[in-house]
Amino acid sequence: MMDRAVYRIIDANFNRAREALRVMEEYCRFAVNNGSLSGRAKQLRHELCAAIGQLEQGKLLAGRDTLGDVGVGQRVENQLERATAAEAFTAGARRLTEALRALAEMVQAESKPVAAAIERLRYQAYTLEKDVVLFAGPVERFNRVQLYVIVTSDLPAEILSLASRCAAGGADCIQLRAKGMPDERLFAVAVEFVDICRDLGALSIVNDRIDIAAAAGADGVHLGQDDLPVEQARRLQLSPLIVGKSTHNDSELERAIGAMPSYVSLGPAFTTVTKPKIEVAGTDYIRHGLQRLAETGVSHVAIGGITHENVELLLRAGVQRVAVCAAVTEAPSPADACRRIKDKMAEFLSG
């Protein structure tokens, strides 16, 4: 037989945990726009209710004494003063795991199986928090990108010079794509590339190689269909990285969404001199991809044969981010070429 104080603690922490889960669920649903993450928060809430439902409900309610609670009205500094929805989520996750811990300890005496179920929920809550933070933070950073330039070269000096000129011309994100460079040199170039991008305010992405991206401190990695899977790359990151995934058709897109990358590239939109043999996916695929992605929270970038002359066609289809290689890096002035595309985008997206 538990005493009344224990029931009071269980009742208070059950309410605290449910409320925290609501905050987490709403953040996943309305800020992250991800049905799978909000579904996991909802499932946790239902499982918590089912676990506590096994205790005697009458005793829980009889133990409640809000008016006599000496903690009511005691506020710590900054409580209920969250600057962002992400901060509210993190505070909710902390409250949730604390409440679950208190619940598990207090329920022990009444029911060991219920206490064990609550402990399992606590570990699931830690995992959910981690999955949400590792997904939502990088997506938010990537969503600020409009112009993404891919610098393709195996010459270190050319890569670094192009990266500086493109960033100076307004590229928001630059990818280092050096397909034939030995690892030692690739790592050294990646370190300099990351520095240049950081100094000039562009995101730095390394193509193909999560190991080089993580070791060089890049903002992200881009993975193709033949590269390491997104889930495995995530396990190797040292801090939350932007993880991009190439897709060229509906079935690749569905598989990519399941792995929850930060963004998918949709393309090729047009024929491309950078990959002359690749089949064009076309603007219909891009239009459909954008619709499908809207309910996932996964960001996008259109790619393949994009120039300042055809970018408006994509913007009209709903594209908000474009990745460009040849039209910028083969131009007499890569910085001017970036500016031309950025201006077109700014004009369209602000109008």
Ligand X SMILES: Cc1ncsc1CCOP(=O)(O)O
Ligand Y SMILES: Cc1ncc(COP(=O)(O)OP(=O)(O)O)c(N)n1
Query: What is the residue whose two structure tokens read 């401190």?
Result: 217
For residue 140, CA distances in Å to 143, 241, 277 come to 5, 11, 34
Which of these ranges, 128-136, 237-245, 254-262, 300-308, lies near ligand X under the rule CB under 6 A? 300-308
- Tokens (6 digits) for 258: 């399941």
Q: What are phi and psi of 75, to 5 degrees?
A: -110, 135
> Helix 4-26 vs helix 112-143: angle between axes, to the nearest 10 degrees?
20
Evaluate whether 263 touches 221 at the Cβ level (below 8 Å): no
Binders of ligand Y in range 131-170 (CB under 6 A): 150
How far is the C-alpha of 302 from the C-alpha of 324, rounded, in Å?
A: 9
* C-beta of 63 vs 244, nearer to Mg ion: 244
Residues of each annotated binding site for Mg(2+)? 208, 227
Of residues 227 through 286, those in contact with ligand Y by CB under 6 A are 227, 244, 246, 265
Task: Name the one range near ligand Y by CB under 6 A: 61-69, 110-118, 158-166, 223-231.
Answer: 223-231
Instruction: Give the interface segment with ligand Y, choosing from 27-35, 108-116, 118-126, 221-229 (CB under 6 A).
Output: 221-229
Q: Which of 11, 25, 172, 208 binds ligand Y (CB under 6 A)?
A: 208
274 is an interface residue for ligand X by CB under 6 A = yes
Interaction of residue 35 with ligand Y, rule CB under 6 A: no
Residue 13 or 246: the one with the smaller Cβ distance to ligand Y is 246
- Residue at shortest CB range from Mg ion: 224
Q: Is 314 in the site for ligand X (CB under 6 A)?
A: no
DSSP states along 100-121? HHHHHHHHTTT-HHHHHHHHHH
Nearest-approach distance from CB 284 to Mg ion, in angstroms: 24
Task: Provide the strand spans (E) within 147-188.
Answer: 147-152, 173-177
- Binding of ligand X by 305 (CB under 6 A): yes
Binding residues, by number, are 175-179, 207-208, 227, 246, 272-275, 305
Residue 213 or 325: the one with the smaller Cβ distance to ligand X is 325
- The set of residues, in sequence order, having a beta carbon less than 8 Å from that of 45 and lying 6+ positions away, is 18, 21, 22, 25
Contact of 128 with 210, CB cutoff 8 Å = no
The distance of closest approach from Cβ of residue 272 to ligand Y in the complex, given in angstroms and rounded to an integer, is 10
**Which of ligand Y, Mg ion, ligand X, none does residue 244 bind to, with CB < 5 to 8 Å depending on kind?**
ligand Y
194-198-203-208 Cα dihedral, nearest 10 degrees:
0
Residue carrying the six token digits 């999560």? 210
User: Which residues are at the interface with ligand Y (CB under 6 A)?
Assistant: 150, 175, 177, 207-208, 222, 224-225, 227, 244, 246, 265, 301, 303, 323
User: Which residues are at the interface with ligand X (CB under 6 A)?
Assistant: 150, 267-268, 272-275, 278, 303-306, 324-327
